[in-house]
Amino acid sequence: MPELPEVETVVRDLKPLLAQKKIGSVKILGKKLRRPWNPLWTKSLEKQTLNKIHRRGKWIILSMKSGVQLLIHLGMTGQLCVFDQQEALKSHTNLVFKLSPGNAELRFRDVRRFGSADVFDTEKELQDFFAKRKLGPEPFNLSQEYWLSSLAKSSRNLKAFLLDQQNIVGVGNIYADESLHKSRLHPSRLACSLKPYEAILLSNSIEEILNAAIKNRGSTIRNYVGGAGLMGGYQDEFKAYGRTGLPCMNCGNSIQKIVLAGRSSHFCPNCQPKKPSKR
């Protein structure tokens, strides 16, 4: 599933391509996404001028000057890219937004159809949508007080804690593994067992890993491409995720895999001991 770096890359790619564009028409194609498209949304979007493209966690937000909000979630295999109208539609294209002026189209394609598209008439309705999901803070410049308190109150393992979007948004399976490896913390450690210096090290590692991934346009594992149709490159930098049986780049021991929170977790048993280190 695309995580924060991939979503941020899509947003950054789309900004110059969608600046001051109008949505001329909306076409609904193929099979339904996670939620069906409401015909009233088409009327809400047509002839609207795009004002801002931004992100909240793993969601992409296209804000119109009128206040109407188009919310996109890429799901597992979603792609949101701009194409010339003359370019043939790829299979599994679900939504096509005609842009004007010019001959471009914004197309949403999702092979597995776990992605979603929603329209809100006002920004308040969008904020209410996020509020119901009790999303945690963005992982950049985290409040130390919040972070230490949240970890101390949780009896869940670190992998489960990081995947919970109510604790911190945007971090998924890939970057949880990479962040825990960088901070030398075992994924099965209880969140409440972390000492303050370990907690701070973890928050710093998350931020560094995410920034490095954004710089490399995210990670292309299967279907992911950015808003300009280009693949990511951070998959070549992985130190833990997907490297089961391969030598740890820090110590040479084999990377192992266990299942936590229903997800595969990759770690080095030497660099990431189960017991707290005595620093």
- How many degrees, rounded to 5, is the angle at CA 63 between CA 45 and CA 164? 115
Q: For every residue of 183-217, which 3-state class applies, written as one string?
A: CCCCCCCEHHHCCHHHHHHHHHHHHHHHHHHHHCC
CA distance 109 to 54: 19
User: Would you say 71 and 129 are in contact if contact means Cβ atoms under 8 Å apart?
Assistant: yes
CA distance 28 to 30: 7
How is residue 142 written in tokens? 């985290």
**111: helix, strand or coil:** coil
Catalytic residues, by residue number, are: 2-3, 58, 263
- CA proximity to 277, closest of 208, 160, 195, 165: 195
CA distance 216 to 232: 6
Residue with tokens 């949880």: 176
How is residue 140 written in tokens? 């950049």
Give me the helix-helix angle, 4-18 and 196-215, nearest 10°. Answer: 40
Residue 89 amino acid letter: L
Residue 117 amino acid letter: A
CA distance 230 to 10: 10
CA distance 260 to 158: 9
